Structure 1
Amino acid sequence: METNEMETLERLKKLAAIHFRTLKPANSESKNYIAQIEVLNYFELGCIITDMLKLCILALDHDIHNVPEKKNQAD
């Protein structure tokens, strides 16, 4: 059982090294990370920015439905 766990751990480390490399530490002292995204041209960059803005709008619009409406106090 011990060797099976060691093989699984080694396999997990290899998969993590392959797939989890987008975030890189900013420096060794802070807990901040840097994400580098490569784009082909300005058109692709514009599409990414547009999609991120649409996502933010949808997230804000979704939160509006959770806010209770205020009723008039004068009634």
Structure 2
Amino acid sequence: DKLALIAPRTVYVQAKTYYGGGEWYTLDLDYKRIARILRQAGYTGYVTLEFEGKEEPDTAVPKSLAMLREAFQT
């Protein structure tokens, strides 16, 4: 797994979400898997959110944060 190979060198994580669809987006990211790999590699830094979907930010950003919190706080 390429992520596991680079995870020990990770210094910054930016998570993208696309609620409501978005351009340039063709897959769903498994953030629970990503978080597990980063945790196993000893990553303790921040995870930032970049929202690019077409859903209204007032609803999509809270949904995005909840999803990321669930994935990264286990």
Name the one with the larger strand percent: 2
Name the one with the larger helix percent: 1
Bigger radius of gyration among the two: 1
Q: Between the two structures, name the one with larger relative contact order (CA 8 Å, sep ≥ 6).
A: 2
| TM exceeding 0.5 | no
The two structures have a TM-score, normalised by structure 2, of 0.27
